[in-house]
């Protein structure tokens, strides 16, 4: 049966899956309760990528998400991940573009994010989406790793 990936707004019942995908893919100390708080405050900036199998009775399964937020008056990407077997198929880009469109609709013309300095794959991904390296925050993460802050003017 053909599988299709769709991007849609996140709803309350997706929260458990978002936490699972977040924890499975992002090296983070963000706790489930931090994710709940972000979701409660910024739900309209959360989107999920779901795999649907046509003619199947099974529901959609969440294979990726993006969590946006508003920070200091601009758009912010709190987290984005796509499960391994669904990567490099354009799903990350679709998720990011979807939340960016929402930011723009709310006149938020700048988007920022932090990423681990060692996360070369994600950094390349963001650079391909037009994000520019802004500055480095030394020892930003609890394990002592530096963060690179990226920004995009839309």
Tokens representing 93 are 């880009």
68 lies in the binding site for ligand COA (CB under 6 A): no
Q: Is 61 left (phi over 0), alpha (psi -120 to 50) or beta?
A: beta
Which one of 5, 7, 26, 151 is in contact with ligand COA (CB under 6 A)?
A: 26
Going by C-alpha positions, the residue among 154, 146, 68 that lies closest to residue 113 is: 68
Which one of 62, 99, 122, 147 is in contact with ligand COA (CB under 6 A)?
A: 122
R_g of the chain, CA atoms, integer Å: 15
Which one of 46, 47, 103, 125 is in contact with ligand COA (CB under 6 A)?
A: 125
The count of other CB atoms within 10 Å of the CB of residue 38 is: 20
Element (H, E) at 152: strand 147-153
82 lies in the binding site for ligand COA (CB under 6 A): yes
Which one of 88, 109, 133, 136 is in contact with ligand COA (CB under 6 A)?
A: 88
115 lies in the binding site for ligand COA (CB under 6 A): yes
Note the residues at the interface with ligand COA (CB under 6 A): 25-26, 79-82, 87-93, 115, 119, 121-122, 124-125, 128
């Amino acid at each position: 049966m053909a599988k299709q990936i769709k991007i849609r707004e996140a709803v309350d019942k997706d929260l458990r899956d978002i936490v699972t995908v977040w924890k499975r893919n992002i090296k983070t100390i963000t706790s489930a309760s931090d994710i709940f708080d972000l979701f409660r405050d910024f739900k309209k900036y959360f989107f999920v990528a779901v795999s649907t199998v046509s003619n199947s009775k099974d529901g959609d399964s969440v294979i990726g998400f993006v969590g946006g937020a508003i920070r200091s008056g601009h758009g912010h990407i709190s987290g984005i991940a796509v499960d391994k077997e669904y990567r490099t198929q354009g799903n990350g880009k679709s998720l990011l573009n979807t939340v960016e469109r929402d930011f723009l609709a709310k006149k938020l013309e700048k988007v920022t994010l932090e990423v681990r300095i060692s996360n070369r794959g994600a950094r390349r991904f963001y650079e391909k989406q037009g994000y520019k390296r802004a500055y480095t925050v030394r020892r930003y993460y609890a394990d002592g790793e530096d963060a690179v802050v990226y920004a995009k003017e839309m």
